[in-house]
Amino acid sequence: MKIERITLHHLRMTLRSPFETSFGRAVTRDSILLEVLSAGLVGYGECVADAEPGYSYETVTTAWHVLRDFIAPAVLGQEINSPADFHQRAAAIRGHKMAKAGFEMAVWDLIGKAQGRCLRELLGGQRRQVAVGVSVGIQPSPEALIETVAGYLAQGYRRIKIKIKPGRDVVETQAVRRAFPLVPLQIDANSAYTLETAQSLRPLDELDLLLIEQPLDEDDLWDHSRLQPHFRTPLCLDESIVSPRHARQAIEMGACRIINIKAGRVGGLSRAVAIHDLCRDKGIPVWCGGMLETGVGRAANLALASLPNFTLPGDISATERYYAADITEQRFTLNVDSTITVPDAPGLGVTLDRSALQQFTLQSLTLP
Ligand code: OSB
Ligand code: MG
């Protein structure tokens, strides 16, 4: 498939409710939507870099620069017949995994559309429905947190993740556990602690949590390996796992017992599948993380989470949890058993709502 044209759209969408994490409070979500033209087909991709470098050093601006000035010149006019072809073309570009993953997603969508096969099938996924939970941002008070969690449980979500930060951790998590003694519960610190300050989280080890996600710095596998023995609860790494190699090293040094896989963070779906396979072989459970994606990225996450070693519920909630209006014609809804159905139309299996897309677009660029 010869890559003929690439269009980038910088989007800004308003969240249904503000989302607060240890790195900041978001009212809107920026992203880049890619449209890649080849042989009369258009592949869609989503780059999950955000407006600010709070979760990752990448931003919409850095990803736009790398896509326009390095990735596009490396692929335009070239035959790209597989994700591996793309990664070979992009091998001279160091880092910038979210930018690469955005383009790679469009390649998968093109391949699926050309072959009439859905992404789940291309990736080797089996499940038609995937178990999902909801990621709950930091709330103004423990009472507000309980009320928010109760609202999601009433909607049918059967796994809850709560965001924590220093000073907004033990009391809040204990309050949720007391209110909902049996709910599968996990917490996410987004790198807000050190090996020393994370000792304050010890009381949480009594709450039968599924996992504690990313307590320490993103570049710190070693201290995670020193922290894990202090907890019975499995540590789970998100930010720290940026490649299959990091996954292997984290497992070998005991830095985590569970891994959160996000295709954007690791440079694309093919690397995400490689991490899935490695974890399966080593007996490490994985689950699909989320980045407040639009319907495009959500479709990709659902296909990824259909692989067999995704044994824990993903951060893939219904469209309604994130956005009043989305850029895809499809809206994802929660089934009664806290699952979401994986799309089965060719490629990502989604189509764009052009008027919504236009409404959320701040800037577009078509290359060449
Ligand atoms: O750390 O998992 C995270 C959202 C943006 C950036 C990082 C994270 C998150 C979430 C939300 O937790 C997951 C989702 O529902 O999309
Ligand atoms: Mg996380």
How far is it, in rounded angstroms, from Cα 221 to Cα 250? 6
User: Is 262 a known active-site residue?
Assistant: yes
Q: How far is the CA of 53 from the centre of ligand 1 (A)?
A: 14
Q: How far is the CA of 125 from the centre of ligand 2 (A)?
A: 23
Exposed / middle / buried, residue 224 (Cβ in 10 Å: 0-12, 13-18, 19+): buried
Pick the residue whose CA is nearest to atom 14 on ligand 1. Answer: 290
Q: How far is the CA of 238 from the centre of ligand 2 (A)?
A: 5
Mean pLDDT, all residues of the chain: 98
Closest ligand 1 atom, residue 239 Cα: 1
How far is it, in rounded angstroms, from Cα 273 to Cα 163? 26
Instruction: Indicate the pTM of the whole model.
Output: 0.98
| Best residue for ligand 1 mutational test, from 47, 135, 152, 186 (most atoms within 8 Å of Cβ) | 135
pLDDT attached to residue 159: 98
Radius of gyration of the chain (CA): 20
User: Is 161 a known active-site residue?
Assistant: no
Q: How far is the CA of 81 from the centre of ligand 1 (A)?
A: 31
Q: Give the model confidence (pLDDT) of 332-357 as tens digits.
A: 999 999 999 999 999 999 999 999 99
Give the CA-trace dihedral at 172, 173, 174, 179, to 10 degrees: 90
Exposed / middle / buried, residue 69 (Cβ in 10 Å: 0-12, 13-18, 19+): exposed
pLDDT attached to residue 60: 98
Q: How far is the CA of 136 from the centre of ligand 1 (A)?
A: 9
Indicate the DSSP class of residue 326: -
Residue 252: partners with Cβ closer than 8 Å, 6 or more residues away: none
For the chain, give the longest Cα–Cα distance. 59
15 in Cβ contact with 8 (< 8 Å) = no
How far is it, in rounded angstroms, from Cα 47 to Cα 173? 32
Q: How far is the CA of 31 from the centre of ligand 2 (A)?
A: 18
Pick the residue whose CA is nearest to atom 13 on ligand 1. Answer: 290
Pairing of strands 24-38, 5-21: antiparallel
Residues having CB within 6 Å of any atom of ligand 1: 55, 135, 188, 190, 238, 289-292, 315, 317
pLDDT attached to residue 255: 98
Q: Of the residues 97, 161, 165, 262, which is catalytic? A: 262
User: What ligand has the least distance to the C-alpha of 15?
Assistant: 1
User: What ligand has the least distance to the C-alpha of 52?
Assistant: 1
pLDDT attached to residue 126: 93
Length of the chain: 368
Domains recognised in the chain with CATH numbers = 5-116+351-367 (3.30.390.10), 121-341 (3.20.20.120)
Candidates 345, 268, 220; CA nearest to 104 is: 268
| Best residue for ligand 1 mutational test, from 19, 163, 315, 319 (most atoms within 8 Å of Cβ) | 315
56 in Cβ contact with 239 (< 8 Å) = yes
User: What ligand has the least distance to the C-alpha of 294?
Assistant: 1
Pick the residue whose CA is nearest to atom 12 on ligand 1. Answer: 135
Q: Give the model confidence (pLDDT) of 158-212 as tens digits.
A: 999 999 999 999 999 999 999 999 999 999 999 999 999 999 999 999 999 999 9
| Best residue for ligand 1 mutational test, from 291, 316, 322, 338 (most atoms within 8 Å of Cβ) | 291
Model confidence at 57, pLDDT cuts 50, 70, 90, reads very high
Residue 296: partners with Cβ closer than 8 Å, 6 or more residues away: 33, 44, 45, 46, 105, 327, 328, 348, 350, 352
Q: Give the model confidence (pLDDT) of 59-76 as tens digits.
A: 999 999 999 999 999 999
Q: Of the residues 97, 100, 161, 163, which is catalytic? A: 163
